[in-house]
Structure 1
Amino acid sequence: MNCKYFGECGSCRDYEGGYETQLLNKVESNKKRFADLYKGDMDICRSPQSGYRARAEFKIWHIGDEIHYAMNALEHKGVVIIEECPQVNVYIMDLMPKLLQSIKEKKMDKKLFGADFLSSLRGEIAVSLLYHRKLDGEWEEKAKELSQELGISIIGRSRKQKVTIGKDHITETLHVQDIDYKFMQIENSFTQPNPRVNEQMISWALNQFEGLSGDLLELYCGAGNFTIPFSSKFDKVLATEISKSSIAAAKNNMLLNDVSNIEFVRMSSEEFVQALDGVREFRRMGEVDISSYALKTIFVDPPRAGMDEASCEFAARHENILYISCNPETLYRDLKYLSKTHEVQKMAVFDQFPYTHHLEMGVKLIKRGR
């Protein structure tokens, strides 16, 4: 990827030597990190070298009467004014200057401080415009014009206010192992930013389930990004997630993909463990018949903080563990605990965030002595 802001913009920090060099640096450092837990090869899932982000957030910077896109500078020393961003996909890249010009022409820029883009691989786009002022009827009429002219959905956000013009979501289609999966992705909610790497992650994870039987338990399921494809490998899936909007999207995604063997429960992983162990009772578990599940396999995809000790202890009860992590540091900590009872059988790296030190990883663990 060629970017004229390398060395200034804080979004990309590891660009010397090009894409393959930055990827090799991350892979080698993590091979060393996990050397005492795993000696085998790591599967490597590469990213497109540019145009890989389908989700992007930019500051809107005011200089006199003009507005610009901006990003944090390296080491957070102010901001860098940008005209383009080679990270984003072609649809967002094409829209960026048009959107800024239209906002200025329609005088919608008063106290505007951010623009968040969410795009599908087929070009459906929702843009969230973030303001430090209340949005009134005049703004809404202008936003409707903007939406129609550019063929996008507009979501206006200010404190305790959300105004939606069009839809507050897009529908993404991911192609995984010759199957198309459809997903509702809601603005201002977590989605995987790099869809081509996401497809590879899902495919790799599916391969780790070959030969397994019974039912699957998933913690931190989000909107069902993994859950929906995984349902084809198991008789039943029980999945938990704390976010109300994500659970609603996950249930909708079941319908989009004609899947019926998943039961979604809105609970945190900690609450779920407490419910199963009888520590606390939850009304949300009232209709779940745990005794009907043969849970030999657990899948976890926690936030950057990883799992707490209670969740690790709970995961260790299962014969098979599949762990997707967005933070190798907390993954190492959790694997040290899980390795007391399980053996790391397979590892993979997913270059979800090229030109940064961030790396997603996948781990398959099997209970020792089974």
Structure 2
Amino acid sequence: MECRHFGRCGSCRWYEEGYEGQLTKKAEEIKALFAPLYTGAFDIARSAPEGYRARAEFKVWHVGDTMHFAMNSIDREGVVLLEECPMVTAPIQALMWPLLDALNAAPGMGRKLFGMDFLAGRDGDIAVSMLYHRKLDDTWKAQAAELATKFGISIIGRSRKQKEVIGRDHVIESVDVAERTYRFKQIENSFTQPNPGVNAQMIGWALQQFEGLGGDLLELYCGAGNFTIPFASRFDRVLATEISKSSIHAAKTNMELNDVHNIDFVRMSAEEFVQALDGVREFNRMKGIDLPSYRLDTIFVDPPRAGMDEASCDFAARHEHILYISCNPETLKRDLEYLTRTHRIEAMAMFDQFPYTHHMEMGVKLKKAAQ
């Protein structure tokens, strides 16, 4: 990827040797980090070298009467005013500059506008969130509606305790995995996988690890069902938990979008689910779910950057098979040091979700060791 802002913009920090150079160095660092636990082969999911981000957040910087897209500078001493951003997908790249020109030309539309977030589907479905330090009135709504019609997008206006939706607050994304196209409702201002190409490879790799296991699957931290929906094809039933109400709602919608019917989505934390499974507490949210009928030999976890605590690791270790997706190699290593007391690592993978940064996502398959 070529970008005139390399070396100044803080978004991309590792670019001197191009995409191949940064990927090689990251892979070397990951292998060294996990060498005390695993010395086998790593599968590596490569990103497109440019146009890979379908979710992007930009500052809106005011210079006189003109607004610019901006990012923090690499030294965090001020901002860089952007003239291009080749890391975002083509639909976002094609939209963001004409939209900014239109905002600059719309009287009052940019007043106290401080940020814009873009969320795009593969087929060009785009939702733009505009973030303000002022109350949004009827004049703003009328102007936003004109822009939404002109550009064929949805616009969400956000200010303190206010959310105004012009169109929809989500996009529909399509993901091709294992010769099937899945469709997902992705809600603005909630977590989605930012790199759709690598996301499809992550799901595909995980599906390969489940080959031949059968039975039922337990998933913790399921989000909006990004992994859950495809996983349903490999198991008799899936029981999936998530604490976010909006994510659970989206997950149930995604199940319908994909005509999948063997998943029970439950809104509860991992800790609450363990309490329900062990009979420590009863939850109304579990009514209608026959927990004893599940054959839960396999568990899938995709926790936040903090990883899992010791209690969660203990719970995961009850299962014959563990598949762990991690967005933080450091906390993954900590958790694996605990999990490998009872399980052995059978496969590992690296997923380059964020090119030109030091970030790398990981996948690990574990199986209970013979006693």
**TM tier, shorter chain?**
over 0.9
Indicate the SS of the match to 1:48.
coil
Q: CA deviation at 1:133?
A: 0.3
2:183 paired residue number: 182
- The aligned amino acid for 2:339 is L
- The aligned amino acid for 1:343 is R
1:130 paired residue number: 131
- The aligned amino acid for 1:249 is A
Indicate the SS of the match to 1:9.
coil
Deviations 1:36-85 (A, max 9, x none): 11110100000000000000000000011010000011132111110210
2:69 paired residue number: 69
Please tell me whether the aligned partners of residues 352 and 360 of structure 1 are also in contact (alpha carbons under 8 angstroms): yes
Does 2:267 align with 1:266?
Answer: yes
Matches within 5 A, 1:149-164: 149-164=150-165
The separation in 1 between residues aligned to 2:83 and 2:248, in whole angstroms, is: 37
Please tell me whether the aligned partners of residues 217 and 299 of structure 1 are also in contact (alpha carbons under 8 angstroms): yes
1:335 paired residue number: 336
Please tell me whether the aligned partners of residues 182 and 256 of structure 1 are also in contact (alpha carbons under 8 angstroms): yes
The separation in 2 between residues aligned to 1:58 and 1:264, in whole angstroms, is: 33
Q: CA deviation at 1:202?
A: 0.3
Please tell me whether the aligned partners of residues 316 and 338 of structure 1 are also in contact (alpha carbons under 8 angstroms): yes
Matches within 5 A, 1:60-209: 60-107=60-107, 108-209=109-210
Q: Any stretches of 5+ residues in structure 1 without a counterpart? A: none
Deviations 1:176-232 (A, max 9, x none): 111000000000010000000000000000000011011000000000000000000
Indicate the SS of the match to 1:74.
coil
Does 2:252 align with 1:257?
Answer: no
1:356 paired residue number: 357
Fraction of identical pairs, as percent: 68
Q: CA deviation at 1:23?
A: 0.6
Indicate the SS of the match to 1:92.
helix
Q: CA deviation at 1:21?
A: 0.8
The separation in 2 between residues aligned to 1:306 and 1:281, in whole angstroms, is: 26
The separation in 1 between residues aligned to 2:345 and 2:76, in whole angstroms, is: 38
The separation in 2 between residues aligned to 1:366 and 1:7, in whole angstroms, is: 44
1:347 paired residue number: 348
Does 2:53 align with 1:53?
Answer: yes
The separation in 1 between residues aligned to 2:296 and 2:149, in whole angstroms, is: 49
- The aligned amino acid for 2:235 is F
The separation in 2 between residues aligned to 1:79 and 1:287, in whole angstroms, is: 53
The separation in 2 between residues aligned to 1:80 and 1:274, in whole angstroms, is: 49
The separation in 1 between residues aligned to 2:321 and 2:118, in whole angstroms, is: 38
2:304 paired residue number: 303
Q: Which 10-residue stretch deviates more, 255-264 or 74-83?
A: 74-83
Q: CA deviation at 1:280?
A: 2.7
Q: CA deviation at 1:353?
A: 0.3
1:283 paired residue number: 284
The separation in 2 between residues aligned to 1:197 and 1:314, in whole angstroms, is: 29
Q: CA deviation at 1:277?
A: 2.0
Deviations 1:143-164 (A, max 9, x none): 0000000110000000110000
- The aligned amino acid for 1:77 is E
TM-score (norm 1): 0.99
- The aligned amino acid for 1:35 is A
- The aligned amino acid for 2:161 is K
The separation in 1 between residues aligned to 2:202 and 2:28, in whole angstroms, is: 19
Q: CA deviation at 1:103?
A: 1.0
Indicate the SS of the match to 2:75.
helix
Matches within 5 A, 1:6-21: 6-21=6-21
Indicate the SS of the match to 2:313.
helix
Deviations 1:264-294 (A, max 9, x none): 0001111111222233332212222110100
2:30 paired residue number: 30
The separation in 2 between residues aligned to 1:278 and 1:176, in whole angstroms, is: 37
- The aligned amino acid for 2:259 is D
The separation in 2 between residues aligned to 1:193 and 1:336, in whole angstroms, is: 29
The separation in 2 between residues aligned to 1:188 and 1:253, in whole angstroms, is: 17
Deviations 1:66-110 (A, max 9, x none): 100000111321111102101001110011111111112112100
CA RMSD after TM alignment: 0.8
Q: Any stretches of 5+ residues in structure 2 without a counterpart? A: none
- The aligned amino acid for 1:8 is R
Deviations 1:97-133 (A, max 9, x none): 1111111211210000000000011111000000000
Indicate the SS of the match to 1:116.
strand
Indicate the SS of the match to 1:127.
strand
TM-score (norm 2): 0.99
Q: Which 10-residue stretch deviates more, 274-283 or 52-61?
A: 274-283
Count of residues in Structure 1 that have an aligned counterpart in Structure 2: 370
Q: CA deviation at 1:341?
A: 0.3
